[in-house]
Amino acid sequence: MGFKDAYIPVFTAIRDTLSNLDCLKQIILGKNLKQIGNLNSLPVAIINTDLAKVTPIDGFSGYQVQIPIVLDVIIIEYEAPDWFEKMNTVMSEIVDVLLMDPTLEGKLQDLVWTSYAPGTISLQDCTFYGGEIRFMATLDYSAS
């Protein structure tokens, strides 16, 4: 099993877990903005990552990989009277569903919630209401 075979399933497991939420109309893996389509398909969660930290595991011929998971959540494109409640309702459901199984059915050693920032998101010269949720995924990997 190569690294790709351990790494990619982490993101597909997050996508599959989020697809169980009725509050989301779309889940996009990576910032492929063409997939967002028209604004009738909101709320949307965009799953991204950042620089992973790789550390050798003492006494083991493998590595611990800490993968930052970045979820951009776009709820609405305008400031509705109840925008803050809408944002936090959707974002809270995302946090809750991912923390229900922090191993993502055995794909990870752990998934830890690290930040929660409701507010605005700028994409394609537009400002949307939503926010960013971050997790740290821990994966033990061995090339053997």
Digit-coded pLDDT (tens) for 76-90: 877 777 888 889 999
pLDDT at 125: 76
pLDDT at 124: 72
Q: What is the CA radius of gyration of the chain?
A: 16
Non-local (6+) Cβ contacts of 47 within 8 A are 11, 14, 15, 18, 27, 28, 29, 30, 69, 70, 71
Q: Provide the whole-model pTM.
A: 0.90
pLDDT at 37: 57
Non-local (6+) Cβ contacts of 127 within 8 A are 77, 120, 121
User: What b/e readout covers 33-63, taking b as 16+ CB neighbours within 10 angstroms?
Assistant: eeebeeeeebbbbbbbeeeeeeeeeeeeeeb
CATH of 3-141, one of 3.10.20.30, 3.20.20.70, 3.30.70.1700, 3.40.50.2300: 3.30.70.1700
pLDDT at 40: 61
Rounded CA separation 120/21 (Å): 22
Residue position matching structure tokens 């790709």: 4
Q: How many residues does the chain have?
A: 144
pLDDT at 78: 73
Rounded CA separation 38/56 (Å): 45
Q: Which two tokens stand for residue 114?
A: 């690290």
Low-confidence ranges of the chain (pLDDT < 50): none
